[in-house]
């Protein structure tokens, strides 16, 4: 469940004071229009001399591309875009291949020579080959061999539906008669046969035809020596999309819009094929050889009881990712994920031996996920080759936290490179393979620090270690870094420095407005409190000056997404809420912002503690947070409210329904009320599917607890929400009506999607939430 940032305009003023400074609700709900638009996505030029980034400075209509070079920031002219910008790159020793606006360039990092290789608006991807001056380019999903001296572009492989050769049908009497009587008919027949043979001969010598009879190919890779091809084919099932309606339209007519299917939709059929170019041999990978491929999930025991079977008759449905050839082109590395997301395999195929090697198998009765592993079946994890064509690196949660591992094919041995109760959030291998460039929360769970990690010993060398978050882009020559950095009360800015320890740092941007800087924003403390099961739960704590307020009151904020971190040391994606919490503090509220069970950044157990029970520990953590406010901070038990959006809205509703009387009121924004109506990728990970695990859906969905409502509940929802759809709250409200509940109110926003886009709506929403707290607390 995603949250979005957005902006714009308002019309009412509610001003309060923090540390003697005014905070205007209307102004802070303008978001970045009030704060200042922060720069985004820094990346480097091919020569490692210029940093590019997107930014909306004062006076810009929208985000534009800016450049930083020689200490100066300037806006990049559109006509310079195609000559300067890199849309990703591939490196081979001193040579760099990069694309920019349909142009493919080669750049020599030693000589500084740049050469335009080809220009095509069909350019999708590009690859080095073993032979200098020859490259493979993907032009609109067809692969060509590009030769620079002399220039040529020859199709190498085509994916399509090619009919099989049919046997010659028996000719009729008249056809035989014509051929027997007329020389011209015999000549035409020989001419046609000659041309056909010529076409087929040219086809066989010029490019390879890959027959995709059903479905389509998802991705493909070609070995550097052009000997092998690997590709993934998918056959998608028919699915039923949901709909949502737009009522505020230009013609006054209601408009229907398609959206995603609901959880429980069928999975695609995916196939991995390995093709030998010389012999035109095409081998389809058989997943039944994988360890545990037939293992059935244990939750089925709840339904099958004594009839439960540990294995199914056939293999699970799987999808393939990260097709990567070794540097010597003799082996293929790939990742396999089961569509139930309980298994992940890393496999190598040896082309000469025609043998598969299972490098790693990770099984999780909950679901596979974590940094560098990825909790979505349709997205691959972080895996890759070393240049020696023997070692492979990957990330795994085997230790309970996401860490780096290295596997040696020659030794058939895995080595855990990094260890500890922290997570590797990003890892990229250096060009010389001596180290990894790593983002980790090693020193504090609420940080993202930047390190060099030795690829042999696993030794960490700190490069950027200050409290906060560092989003790092390493230059192509790996001598410099550009990074976005933020702190709890300081929004994102871009900085740059040499890629070594204790180097001099230069600030590139300054984005905040004078209005934002005029307020001394709080630096919330990151604390821990004890949950009922003894677990220490992290949270952000906003507190007023104790001597200033005699009557204490508190609000608990519940972040969205579930798997997201908000009790951290950097600028929150919930920046409107951060400013709103400062406003609440000025009114005498204490605010507790909890990283409840399921949040990101704390390892596998924390991530999966809500498996088959959303509304379990994630909700009890809010109740234990309430206990902390009462027992440790002296907040009266009848002066505590709760609010949140998306997953946070779901938790808010469940807290009121499962623990009536604990919270005096709650505000639920864009909330899931019945998980059987949410999307498939997110929900099936945690609750399986409604057809196979109805127990999990019933105990996890607020609509089944509607009869417990007794405390004031404010429901707020956008009617154009194509993520958590408006139908969710409509169904819950109908249940409340039928149950004769009268302690709820509802505010609808006719032109808003999941993340609000209009300032008037943001202001109306938080004005109502503030009124709710002021009325009931």
> Quick count: other Cβ atoms within 10 Å of Cβ 215?
14
What distances in angstroms separate CA 532 from CA 599, 622, 623, one per listed residue?
A: 18, 11, 9
> What is the spatial distance between Cα 706 and Cα 690, in angstroms, rounded to a whole number?
19
Q: What is the mean pLDDT of residues 526-543?
A: 98
- 350: three-class secondary structure by DSSP: strand
Q: Which residue has the higher pLDDT, 370 or 192?
A: 370
CB within 8 Å of 470: residues ≥ 6 apart: 439, 448, 449, 450, 464, 483, 484, 485
Residue 8 has pLDDT above 50, yes or no: no
How far out from the chain centre does Cα 365 lie? 22
* Structural element, H or E, at residue 55: strand 51-55
Strand 123-128 with 134-139, pairing: antiparallel
Question: Which residues does 348 contact at the CB level (< 8 Å), separation at least 6?
Answer: 331, 332, 333, 334, 356, 357, 359, 392, 409
Query: Is the confidence at residue 192, as pLDDT, over 80?
Result: yes
Q: Is the pLDDT of residue 127 over 80?
A: yes
Model pLDDT, residue 168 = 58
What is the percentage of the chain residues whose pLDDT exceeds 90?
Answer: 85
Question: Given this model, what pLDDT does residue 556 score?
Answer: 98
* Statement: residue 14 has pLDDT above 60: no
Q: Which of 568, 591, 752, 775 is nearest to 665 (CA)?
A: 775
**β-pairing, 525-530 with 536-542?**
antiparallel
Tokens describing residue 257? 């819009």
Could you tell me the strand order of the sheet in which 123-128 lies?
Answer: 123-128, 134-139, 142-147, 152-160, 208-211
pLDDT digits (tens, 9 = 90+) for 68-82: 999 999 998 877 776
> Contact at 8 Å (CB) between 561 and 647?
yes
Q: What is the pLDDT of residues 251-275, one digit of tens each?
A: 999 999 999 999 999 999 999 999 9
Q: Which of 444, 446, 439, 404 is nearest to 425 (CA)?
A: 439
Q: 536, 529 in Cβ contact below 8 A?
A: yes
Average pLDDT for 391-395: 98
Rg over CA atoms, the chain: 30
| CA pair distance 520, 179, nearest whole angstrom | 97
pLDDT band at 492 (very low <50, low <70, confident <90, very high): very high
Q: Tell whether the model's pLDDT for residue 444 goes beyond 70.
A: yes
Rounded Cα distance, 744 and 749, in Å: 17
Three-state SS sequence of 533-564: CCCEEEEEEECCCCCCCCCCEEEEEECCCCCC
SS3 label, residue 345: strand
pLDDT tens, residue by residue, 701-715: 999 999 999 999 999
> Taking residues 199-203, what's their average pLDDT?
56
Cβ atoms of residues 414 and 360 within 8 Å: yes
Measured distance CA(766)–CA(401) in Å, rounded = 37
Q: Give yes or no for residue 6 having a pLDDT over 80.
A: no
In sequence order, what E strands does 566-725 have? Answer: 589-594, 640-645, 665-669, 713-718
Strand 553-558, strand 640-645: pairing: parallel
Q: What pLDDT is attached to residue 5?
A: 28
- On the question of pLDDT at 490 being above 70, the answer is yes
| Bridging pattern class, strands 103-108 and 208-211 | unpaired
Section 416-440 average pLDDT: 98
pLDDT tier at 350, thresholds 50, 70, 90: very high
Range 125-131 average pLDDT: 94
DSSP 33-52: HHH-PPPEEEEE-TTSS-EE
pTM of the model: 0.91
Longest dimension (CA), the chain: 116
pLDDT of residue 59: 82
Q: How many Å apart are CA 327 and CA 102, to the nearest integer?
A: 27
Q: What is the DSSP string of 310-333?
A: SB-SSPPPEEEEEEEE-TTSSEEE
CA 490 vs CA 51, 483, 519, 630: distances in Å = 22, 15, 12, 30
The pLDDT of residue 549: 65
Report how far residue 542's alpha carbon sits from residue 551's, in angstroms, rounded to the nearest whole number: 16
SS3 171: coil
- Residue 678: how many CB atoms within 10 A of its CB? 23
d(CA 600, CA 564): 5
- For 477, which DSSP code? T
pLDDT per position as a tens digit, 668-684: 999 999 999 999 999 99
Alpha-carbon span 234 to 751, nearest angstrom: 37
Whether the per-residue pLDDT at 18 is higher than 50: the answer is no
Q: What is the mean pLDDT of residues 385-396?
A: 98
From 357, 330, 360, 329, select the one nearest 344 (Cα to Cα). 360
Compute the distance between CA of residue 662 and CA of residue 81 in angstroms, rounded to an integer. Answer: 57
pLDDT class for 11, splitting at 50, 70, 90? very low
- pLDDT category, 19, cuts 50, 70, 90? very low
Cα angle, residue 731 at apex, residues 712 and 741 outer, rounded to 5°: 35
Rounded to whole angstroms, the Cα distance separating 625 from 621 reads: 6
d(CA 211, CA 199): 18
Find the angle CA(613)-CA(618)-CA(623) to the nearest 5 degrees. Answer: 125
Secondary structure letter of residue 380 according to DSSP: -
Question: Is 139 within 8 Å of 125 (Cβ atoms)?
Answer: no
| Backbone torsion region of residue 125, taken as left when φ is above 0, otherwise alpha when ψ lies between -120 and 50, otherwise beta | beta
Average pLDDT over residues 732-737: 98
Give the H or E element holding residue 26. Answer: helix 25-28
Q: Which residues contact 238 (CB under 8 A, 6 or more apart)?
A: 266
Q: Which residue has the higher pLDDT, 529 or 17?
A: 529
Kindly report the number of other CB atoms within 10 A of residue 305's CB atom. 8
**Model confidence band, residue 160 (pLDDT cutoffs 50, 70, 90):** confident
Supply the mean pLDDT for the chain. Answer: 93
pLDDT mean over 337-360:
98
pLDDT of residue 141: 87
Helix (H), strand (E) at residue 146 = strand 142-147
Residue among 716, 3, 36 at smallest CA distance from 27: 36
- Indicate the pairing of strand 744-749 with strand 589-594: unpaired
| Residue 712 CA: distances (Å) to CA of 622, 641, 659, 661, 664 | 17, 10, 13, 10, 7
Structure tokens at 395: 């990330």
* Number of residues that make up the chain: 777
Residue 532: strand, helix, or coil = coil
Helix, strand, coil % (nearest 5) of the chain?
20, 35, 45
Of 54, 53, 76, which Cα lies nearest the Cα of 63?
54
Predicted confidence at residue 60, as pLDDT, reads 87
């Amino acid at each position: 469940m995603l949250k979005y940032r957005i902006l714009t305009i308002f019309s009412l003023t509610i001003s309060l004071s923090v540390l003697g400074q005014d905070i205007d609700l209307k102004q802070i709900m303008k978001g970045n229009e009030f704060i200042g638009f922060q720069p985004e996505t820094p990346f480097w030029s091919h020569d490692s001399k210029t940093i590019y980034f997107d930014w909306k400075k004062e006076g810009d209509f929208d985000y534009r591309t800016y450049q930083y070079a020689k200490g100066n920031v300037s806006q990049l002219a559109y006509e310079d875009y195609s000559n300067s910008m890199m849309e990703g790159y591939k490196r081979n020793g001193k040579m760099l291949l990069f694309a920019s606006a349909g142009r493919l360039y080669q750049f020599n990092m030693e000589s500084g020579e740049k050469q335009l290789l080809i220009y095509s608006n069909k350019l999708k991807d590009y690859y080095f080959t073993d032979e200098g001056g020859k490259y493979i380019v993907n032009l609109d999903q067809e692969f060509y061999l590009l030769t620079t001296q002399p220039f040529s572009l020859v199709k190498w492989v085509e994916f399509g539906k090619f009919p099989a050769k049919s046997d010659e049908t028996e000719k009729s009497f008249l056809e035989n008669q014509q051929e027997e009587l007329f020389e011209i008919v015999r000549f035409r027949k020989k001419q046609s046969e000659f041309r056909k043979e010529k076409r087929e001969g040219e086809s066989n010598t010029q490019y390879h035809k890959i027959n995709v009879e059903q479905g389509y190919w998802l991705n493909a890779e070609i070995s550097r020596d052009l000997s092998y091809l690997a590709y993934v084919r998918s056959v998608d099932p028919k699915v039923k999309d949901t709909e949502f309606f737009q009522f505020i339209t230009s013609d006054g007519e209601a408009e229907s819009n398609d959206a995603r299917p609901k959880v429980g939709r069928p999975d695609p059929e995916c196939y991995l094929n390995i093709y030998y170019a010389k012999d035109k041999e095409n081998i389809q990978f058989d997943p039944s050889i994988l360890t545990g491929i037939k293992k059935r999930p244990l939750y089925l025991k709840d339904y099958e009881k004594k009839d439960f079977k540990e294995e199914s008759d056939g293999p699970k449905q799987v999808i393939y990712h990260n097709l990567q050839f070794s540097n010597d082109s003799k082996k293929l590395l790939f990742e396999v994920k089961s569509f139930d997301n309980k298994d992940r395999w890393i496999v190598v195929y040896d082309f000469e031996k025609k043998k598969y090697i299972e490098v790693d198998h990770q099984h999780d009765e909950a679901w596979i996920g974590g940094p560098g592993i990825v909790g979505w079946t349709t997205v691959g994890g972080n895996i890759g080759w070393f240049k020696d064509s023997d070692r492979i690196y990957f990330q795994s949660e085997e230790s309970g936290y996401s860490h780096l591992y290295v596997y040696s094919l020659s030794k058939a041995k895995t080595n855990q490179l990094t260890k500890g109760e922290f997570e590797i959030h990003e890892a990229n291998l250096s060009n010389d393979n001596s180290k990894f460039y790593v983002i980790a929360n090693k020193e504090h769970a609420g940080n993202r620090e930047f390190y060099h990690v030795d690829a042999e010993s696993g030794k960490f060398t700190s490069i950027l270690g200050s409290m906060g978050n560092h989003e790092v882009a390493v230059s192509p020559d790996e001598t410099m870094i550009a990074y976005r950095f933020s702190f709890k009360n300081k929004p994102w800015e871009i900085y740059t420095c040499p890629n070594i320890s204790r180097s001099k740092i230069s600030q590139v941007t300054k984005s905040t407005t004078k209005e934002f800087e005029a307020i001394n924003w709080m630096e919330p403390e990151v604390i821990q409190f004890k949950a009922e099961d003894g677990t220490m739960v992290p949270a952000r704590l906003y507190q007023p000056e104790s001597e200033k307020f005699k009557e204490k009151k508190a609000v608990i904020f519940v972040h969205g997404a579930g798997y997201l971190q908000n009790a951290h040391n950097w600028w929150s994606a919930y920046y409107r809420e951060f400013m709103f919490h400062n406003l609440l503090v000025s009114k005498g509220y204490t605010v507790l912002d909890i990283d409840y069970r399921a949040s990101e950044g704390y390892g596998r157990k924390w991530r999966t503690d809500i498996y088959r029970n959303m509304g379990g520990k994630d909700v009890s953590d809010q109740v234990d947070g309430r206990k902390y406010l009462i027992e440790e901070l002296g907040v009266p038990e009848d002066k505590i409210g709760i609010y949140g959006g998306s997953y946070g809205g779901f938790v808010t509703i469940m807290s009121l329904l499962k623990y009536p009387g604990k919270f005096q009121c709650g505000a639920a924004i864009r909330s899931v009320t019945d998980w059987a109506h949410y999307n498939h990728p997110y929900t099936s990970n945690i609750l399986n599917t409604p057809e196979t695990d109805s127990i999990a859906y019933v105990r996890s969905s607020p609509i089944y607890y509607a009869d417990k409502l007794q405390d004031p509940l404010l429901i707020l929802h956008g009617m154009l929400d194509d993520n958590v759809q408006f139908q969710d709250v409509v169904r819950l409200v109908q249940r409340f009506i039928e149950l004769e509940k009268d302690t709820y109110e509802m505010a609808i926003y006719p032109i808003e999607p999941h993340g609000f886009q209009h300032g008037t709506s943001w202001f109306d929403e938080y004005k109502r939430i503030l009124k709710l707290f002021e009325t009931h607390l």
